[in-house]
Structure 1
C-alpha cells in the first residue's frame, strides 16, 4: 500500500509584508510589532508541533532574518528541534517573477546564504512570494539545486477574492503591492508533479519537484491556515474530508495564523486582516485539532522528506 504523507508548513511573513498587501504604511509598526513573528508566532508553532508530536517546515524570508539577530537564533533553535527551514526568497518581493533572471538568481542566492548562516544547513526547498511562479523563477530554482518547490496554489476562490481585493484597494487609492498570478495557475495539477520548465504550471520533466498546496477536488477550495482557523468547524471538517482521497496533504499556514489583535497589532492592520480578530486561544486549539487529524490519517513529515519519498517512489514523475 502506498505511503500516505502530509506536511505542515508555515510561511514566516512578518507584519510589514501585510502592510504592503493592504496598502498600509509600514510606519504603523513599531519594533516590537515588526518582530512578533519570531518572538511570538514561531514559539507558538513550535509548542503546537511538539504537543501533537509532528514535524514542520518553516519558509523564512532572508531579509527578515538578516535584519534581526534574534530571528536567526530562533531559526537555529527551530532547526535543532527538527523543523526544516526552507527559503521564502530574500526580499519577499511580490513582483519577483517580473524581475530579470539575473536579479531573481541574486535574490535566491542571498536568501540561501542568510538561512544557511542561521541554521548551518543550506535550504533544499523554496516557496515563491505570493505563490507566483513563472519560467524564469523556476529556472532559478533549478540552478540553485533545490530538491522541491511548493509555490503552486491552484485555488479558484482564492484567486477570485485576491483579484477583487486588489481592485478595491486600487479604487480607494491605496494599491496593494501584491501581484495577481497568471490564470494558468487555476489549471495546474493539485497533486505533486514535475513541471514543464517553460510552463511550470503544467506537467513536464523539470528537475525540481513541485508540491502544490492542498485544495479540494473540483471546486478547488483552499485548505490553508486562514480558512482552517476562521471557518465554522463543520465546514472545516467537510473540506478536510474532501481532501482525504489524496495521497499527499500539504497544509500551508502563515505566522499570523497564531497571532491576534491581543498581541498588540495596530488596529489599522487588524481591520484589514480580518483573521487577526480571531482570539489566539481559538486559533491554537483549532490548529491542535487539525494537526491531530493529520497525524491520525497520514504520516506527517517535513516537505523535504516528502519530496525525497515522492521522488524515489515515482509519484512525482511526468506521468503521475
Structure 2
C-alpha cells in the first residue's frame, strides 16, 4: 500500500498584500499592523504545530523579510525548530507571470538570497504569488534548482469567486492588484505531477515536481484555510472525506488565518476580508481539529520531504 502523506503549509503574506487585493490604500496600516504576520501569526502557528506534534512549511516573501529584521529572526527560529522555509517570491507581485523572463529570474534569485541569509539554507520549494503559474515562471523554478513547486490550485469555486470579486472592485473604481489566472488551471491535475514545461498545468516531464493544493474530486472544492475556517464543520467533514482516496493531502493556509480584528487590523480591511471577522480562538480550535485529522490519517511531513518521497513515484 502506498504511503499516505500530508503537508501543512502557510503563506506568510503580510497585510499590505491584502490591501492590494482589495484595492485599499496601504496607508491604512500602521507599523504594528504591517508586522503582525511575524510578531503575532508566526508564533501562534508554531505553537499550534508543536501542540499537535506535526511539522510545517512556511512560504516567506523576500521583500517582507528584507524590510524587517524581526521577520528574519522569526524565520531563523522557525527553521531551527524544524519548520521548512520556502520561497513565495521576493516581491509577491501578482503579475509576476506577466514580467519578462529576466525579471522573473531576478525576483526568484533575490528571494532565495534573502531567505538563505535568514535561515542559512537555500529554499528548495516555491509557491507563486496568487497561485499563478506559466511557462516562464516554471522555467525560472527549474533554473533555480527547486525540488518542488506548489502553485497549482485547480479550484473551480475559488476561480469563479475571485473573478466576481475582481469585477465588482473594478466597477467600484477600486481595482484589485490581483491577477486572474488562465482558465487552463481548472483542468490541472489535482494530485502531484511533473509539468509540461511549456504548459505547466498539464502533465509532462518537467524537472520540478508540482504539488497542487487540496481540492476535492468532481466539483474541485478548495480545501484551504480560508474555507475550512469559515464554513460549517459538517461541510468540512464531507469535503475532507472526499479526499481520503488521495495518497497526498496538501493543506494550504495563510498567516491571516490565525489573526482577527482584535489584533489591531484596520476595520476597512476587516470589512473586506471576511475571515478576519472570525475570532482567533475559533480559528485555532478549528485548525487544531484539522491538524489532528491529518495526523491520524496521514504521515504529516514538510513539503520538502513529501517532494523527496513523491519524486520516486510520479
| Structure 2 length-normalised TM | 1.00
State the partner residue of 1:127: 127
Structure 2 distance, partners of 1:164, 1:230, is: 19
Q: Secondary structure at the match of 1:191?
A: coil
- 1:58 matched to 2:58? The reply is yes
Deviation at 1:167, TM superposition (A): 0.2
Structure 2 distance, partners of 1:239, 1:38, is: 31
Q: Secondary structure at the match of 1:163?
A: helix
Instruction: Render the CA deviation track for 1:2-42: whole Å, top value 9, x for unaligned.
Output: 10000000000000000000000000000000000000000
State the partner residue of 1:202: 202
State the partner residue of 1:4: 4
State the partner residue of 1:77: 77
Once the two structures are superposed, the pairs formed by residues 67-216 of structure 1 within 5 Å of their partners are: 67-216=67-216
| Structure 1 length-normalised TM | 0.98
Structure 2 distance, partners of 1:77, 1:232, is: 35
Deviation at 1:136, TM superposition (A): 0.1
Q: Secondary structure at the match of 1:202?
A: strand
Deviation at 1:223, TM superposition (A): 0.2
Structure 2 distance, partners of 1:279, 1:239, is: 23
CA RMSD of aligned residues (A): 0.3
State the partner residue of 2:226: 226
- How many residue pairs were aligned? 314
State the partner residue of 2:38: 38
State the partner residue of 1:281: 281
Deviation at 1:297, TM superposition (A): 0.2
Deviation at 1:284, TM superposition (A): 0.2
Deviation at 1:47, TM superposition (A): 0.4
Displacement over 4 Å in runs of 4+: none
State the partner residue of 1:248: 248
